[in-house]
Amino acid sequence: MNIAIVGSGYVGLVTGTCFAEVGHNVICVDNDDAKVAQLKAGKIPIYEPGLEDLIRKNVQLKRLHFTNSIGEGVEKSQVVFIAVPTPPQHDGSVDLSYVETVARQIAEHIKEYRVVVDKSTVPVKTGEKVAETIRRYAKPGVEFDVVSNPEFLREGSAVEDLMKPDRIVFGVNSSKASALMHEVYSPFNAPIMVTDLNSAELIKHASNSFLALKISYINAVAAICEASGADVEKVAAGMGADKRIGRQFLNAGLGYGGSCFPKDISAFIKISEELGYNFQLLKEVEKINADQGERFLKKLRDKLWVLKDKKIGQLGLAFKGNTDDIRMSVGIRIAEQMVKEGASLLAYDPKGMEKCNQLHPDIKTVNSAYEAANGAEALIIATEWVDFKSLDWVKIRESMRTPLIFDGRNLLDPSEMKSLGFEYYSVGR
Ligand code: UGA
């Protein structure tokens, strides 16, 4: 099939690449000329495992193309996906201006039947607005359908999530659009769930909010574990063994960050409010998450007393492992707070340092975990990078001024760290 994807961010670029990988002919559209030129030259603006190779392969096979012309995308494609940002506004609501602009631009170029698919995370009822907008700006009589097709990929495992999804959801109002969407997704061999437009949009916000709720729940349980001497890892394992609960997203730690959960939970609270429902439960999820970083810093202060002039190493700046993304990262928030309190902080992240250096020049970075630890009075782990597990911890202990570790992601084994001579603190155990 001929498919256009408007927006070459995380979702758009990975989706376009995976569509090409299964045999579709894909045009990725972006209004950022520099990014398009970069992609055409084979340079990938983000780090995502496996993505670079797939892009290169599909460009060579001439199944993946990049352009800054939305007209070209609409003209050459039966199905046009919208994958542009939907950033948060100050009051928690979603800025839909990029989606609206793209809808108008699509309308200007539609000459014959097209399926316009919204993949951006949007509030319920946005599809209806997109349809109204296209109808208003397109030539009279032009036929089209609007579909909602939420994306469930996670950064850091985006390619795998997209190639082997648990489920594919799309909300449609017409059988013609439904048939074309089945054609787009049949090569993926995954269960397809077809709903109405509004339900598909809600599935996305309800899913992300539920996952965030699981994280805040286990973080609240971790606080009880700390107060009672229980071990949150054992509690999570015991809970997770129940198939109805499941072990995933029960990792206690510093809480959730990133460009999705914080934004989507506030948006869902706001949408609910506008629809007349006070989603108090989600407000508590946000509060627990916001407190998690501060509770962690308190442990550090309890041990070091004042942070001013203390040499502290930090491992991890990205909002999670396997990514260079530092947006809304709890690790960045904690680093900034320590710097504010006068700590002499040296941070290291396998992929997130370039973005950190650009956006947070107050956080000093070094080129290795060993440099961050050298001479430090405490070492903090803020991101769940598996690479940190296999560091030479004996070398680190010997280089630190005091062998004090604060593991904010429960990445290391407490008894092993103790046997290596560390004083080791983690979350909920
Ligand atoms: C999340 C969802 O998992 C995806 O399904 C969704 O498509 C995506 O948002 C989106 O809306 O675009 P993502 O934000 O990339 O994906 O990453 P997650 O793996 O969900 O992690 C989010 C945050 O939660 C990270 O900061 C991570 O450290 C934290 N987390 C995750 C925990 O603290 N504990 C856990 O058990 C799991």
Residues 95 and 223 occupy one common structural domain: no
Q: What is the pLDDT of residues 373-391, one digit of tens each?
A: 999 999 999 999 999 999 9
- The encoded tokens of residue 275 equal 């629809």
Residues 247 and 184 occupy one common structural domain: no
What CATH number corresponds to the domain at position 356?
A: 3.40.50.720
Separation of alpha carbons 227 and 213, rounded Å: 21
Find the catalytic residue in 18, 28, 260, 356.
260
Question: Could you tell me the distance, in angstroms and rounded to a whole number, from the CA of residue 391 to the centre of ligand 1?
Answer: 25
What's the mean pLDDT in 25-31? Answer: 98
CB 247 near ligand 1, within 6 Å: no
- For residue 260, indicate whether it is catalytic: yes
Q: What is the pLDDT of residues 73-97, one digit of tens each?
A: 999 999 999 999 999 999 989 999 9
Q: Is the pLDDT of residue 289 over 90?
A: yes
Task: Determine the atom of ligand 1 nearest the C-alpha atom of 212.
Answer: 24
In the chain, what is the straight-line distance between the N-terminal and C-terminal CA atoms, in Å? 52
- State the sign of the Cα–Cα–Cα–Cα dihedral 215, 216, 221, 226: positive
Residues 142 and 232 occupy one common structural domain: no
- Residue 403's identity, in one-letter code, is P
Q: Which of 195, 215, 231 is the last residue of a domain?
A: 195
Separation of alpha carbons 349 and 184, rounded Å: 38
Q: What is the pLDDT of residues 106-128, one digit of tens each?
A: 999 999 999 999 999 999 999 99
Residue nearest atom 10 of ligand 1, based on CA coordinates: 260
Separation of alpha carbons 410 and 428, rounded Å: 9
Residues 348 and 231 occupy one common structural domain: yes
Q: Is the pLDDT of residue 34 over 90?
A: yes
CB 319 near ligand 1, within 6 Å: yes
Question: Could you tell me the distance, in angstroms and rounded to a whole number, from the CA of residue 154 to the centre of ligand 1?
Answer: 6
Q: Is the pLDDT of residue 419 over 90?
A: yes
Question: Could you tell me the distance, in angstroms and rounded to a whole number, from the CA of residue 376 to the centre of ligand 1?
Answer: 31
CB 208 near ligand 1, within 6 Å: yes
Which residue of 121, 161, 215 sits with most ligand 1 atoms within 8 Å of its CB, as the best mutation to test the pocket?
A: 215
Q: Which of 195, 226, 261 is the last residue of a domain?
A: 195
Separation of alpha carbons 337 and 343, rounded Å: 9
Residues 228 and 174 occupy one common structural domain: no
CA nearest neighbour of 6 among 58, 75, 69: 69
CB 121 near ligand 1, within 6 Å: yes
Question: Could you tell me the distance, in angstroms and rounded to a whole number, from the CA of residue 67 to the centre of ligand 1?
Answer: 30
Separation of alpha carbons 67 and 37, rounded Å: 9
Question: Could you tell me the distance, in angstroms and rounded to a whole number, from the CA of residue 208 to the centre of ligand 1?
Answer: 8
Task: Determine the atom of ligand 1 nearest the C-alpha atom of 204.
Answer: 11
Residues 55 and 117 occupy one common structural domain: yes
Q: Which of 148, 175, 195 is the last residue of a domain?
A: 195
Which residue of 154, 233, 259, 315 sits with most ligand 1 atoms within 8 Å of its CB, as the best mutation to test the pocket?
A: 154
Residues 163 and 232 occupy one common structural domain: no
Residues 124 and 174 occupy one common structural domain: yes
Task: Determine the atom of ligand 1 nearest the C-alpha atom of 214.
Answer: 36
| % of the chain with per-residue pLDDT over 70 | 100
Q: What is the pLDDT of residues 191-231, one digit of tens each?
A: 999 999 999 999 999 999 999 999 999 999 999 999 999 99
Phi-psi group of 352: left, alpha or beta (phi > 0 → left; psi -120 to 50 → alpha; rest → beta): alpha
Confidence of residue 244 (pLDDT cuts 50, 70, 90): very high
| % of the chain with per-residue pLDDT over 90 | 98
- Return the pLDDT at 41: 87
Task: Determine the atom of ligand 1 nearest the C-alpha atom of 264.
Answer: 11
- Return the pLDDT at 42: 85
Residues 168 and 236 occupy one common structural domain: no
Interhelix angle 280-304/330-340, rounded to 10 degrees, is: 40
pTM of the model: 0.95
81, 119 in Cβ contact below 8 A?
Answer: yes
Residues 110 and 163 occupy one common structural domain: yes
Residue nearest atom 1 of ligand 1, based on CA coordinates: 154
CB 137 near ligand 1, within 6 Å: no
Q: What total number of domains does the chain contain?
A: 2
- Main-chain dihedrals φ then ψ at residue 368, nearest 5 degrees: -155, 160
Residues 226 and 150 occupy one common structural domain: no
Place of tokens 């990029």: 98
Residues 95 and 229 occupy one common structural domain: no
Question: Could you tell me the distance, in angstroms and rounded to a whole number, from the CA of residue 396 to the centre of ligand 1?
Answer: 30
CB 217 near ligand 1, within 6 Å: no
Name 314's bridge partners: 347, 380
Range of the domain at 425: 196-429
In a 10 Å sphere around its CB, with 0-12 CB exposed, 13-18 middle and 19+ buried, how is residue 195 labelled? middle
Mean of the per-residue pLDDT values of the chain = 97
Question: Could you tell me the distance, in angstroms and rounded to a whole number, from the CA of residue 285 to the centre of ligand 1?
Answer: 14
Separation of alpha carbons 66 and 59, rounded Å: 9
